[in-house]
Amino acid sequence: MSVAKKEYKRITVKSLVDMKSRGEKISMLTAYDYTMAKIVDGAGIDVILVGDSASNVMAGHETTLPITLDHMIYHASSVVRAIDRALVVVDLPFGTYQSDPKEALRSAIRIMKESGGHAVKMEGGKEIKESIKRILNAGIPVMGHLGLTPQSIYKFGTYTVRAKEEQEAKQLKEDALMLEKAGCFALVLEKIPAKLAKEVAKSVNIPVIGIGAGNGVDGQVLVTHDMVGMTHEFNPRFLRRYMNLYEEMTNAFSQYGKDVKSGDFPNDKEQY
């Protein structure tokens, strides 16, 4: 498939669907704060995800479950202030949309009003269909998320590859079609076999963004702190580390500590 390049001043949900139809892959990374979002946006990444992975990466929780709507709004509003071009998608956190469609809509409205984000992402298939529809009816774009859905980690019991068995793969394919039919503008597939992800991407017209889902999808997403190597204990097979910032930052901090102790910092030129 040829890769047509078109310069977009501002990425919208429509530009993403356009990219898929032209065979142009979509790049997506996470950001949770102003400074990181500024760098990611300036680098030309198409979509910034304010993921509930902030619960792990920023707050040090073991799972994504503890992060609240207020926390997500704080992170998302910091990101929105930084961006000129990227589409900003914000995760609806655990417990803010599963109980009933009205609560789901209230949560999505708070995200849109209080953070200025452009769309929300929700984990799950048929079980949250009514909530998704309610949010879409209010004019809020929704990105779906299937496969490994970390908000259900206590149901799965493990972070291993999902949908390897026929029954789960069949359900995932049905859920993807349902999400497209309901009106979602895109879909994340996390940690599923590459063959299945490719099949799903071919079966829908909306863009499918993969993480640990192979190269047969329409775009890729990674957690920024993982791909720049700021985190170093999380090493799944799908992760490509573009830098080793953990080591570089450790060396810089350690050198700074030594320079302060020795009196080398600040020198004559570094004072008034």
Q: How far is 15 from 5, CA to CA, in rounded Å?
A: 12
93 contributes a contact to ligand KIV by CB under 6 A: no
Contacts of 132 (CB under 8 A, 6+ apart): 104, 122, 142, 144, 179, 182, 183, 184
204 contributes a contact to ligand KIV by CB under 6 A: no
* 190 annotated active-site: yes
- Out of 13, 206, 223, 230, name the contact with ligand KIV by CB under 6 A: 223
- In sequence order, what DSSP letters do the residues of 178-209 get, joined into one string? HHHHHT-SEEEEES--HHHHHHHHHH-SS-EE
Q: How far is 51 from 57, CA to CA, in rounded Å?
A: 10
Query: Which residues 94-153 are close enough to bind ligand KIV by CB under 6 A?
Result: none
Contact segment (CB under 6 A) with ligand KIV among 48-56, 96-104, 105-113, 179-187 equals 48-56
Contact segment (CB under 6 A) with ligand KIV among 5-13, 44-52, 74-82, 105-113 equals 44-52
CB 93 within 8 A of CB 120: no
Question: Closest distance between ligand KIV and the C-beta of residue 221, in Å?
Answer: 5
Residue in this structure with the two tokens 């999380």, named with its chain if needed: 234
Exposed e or buried b for every residue in 51-66, given b needs 16+ CB within 10 A?
Answer: bbbbbbbeeeeeebbe
79 contributes a contact to ligand KIV by CB under 6 A: no
CA angle 108/123/174 to nearest 5° reads 120
- Out of 82, 142, 211, 213, name the contact with ligand KIV by CB under 6 A: 211
Query: Which residues 17-36 are close enough to bind ligand KIV by CB under 6 A?
Result: 30
- Out of 29, 51, 197, 200, name the contact with ligand KIV by CB under 6 A: 51
11 contributes a contact to ligand KIV by CB under 6 A: no
3-class state of residue 114 by DSSP: helix
Active-site position among 103, 166, 190, 247: 190
Separation of first and last alpha carbons in the chain: 59
* Binding pattern for the stretch 174-193 against ligand KIV, x by CB under 6 A and - elsewhere: --------------x-x---
The catalytic site residues sit at 190
Site residues for ligand KIV per CB under 6 A: 30, 49, 51-53, 91, 188, 190, 211, 221, 223
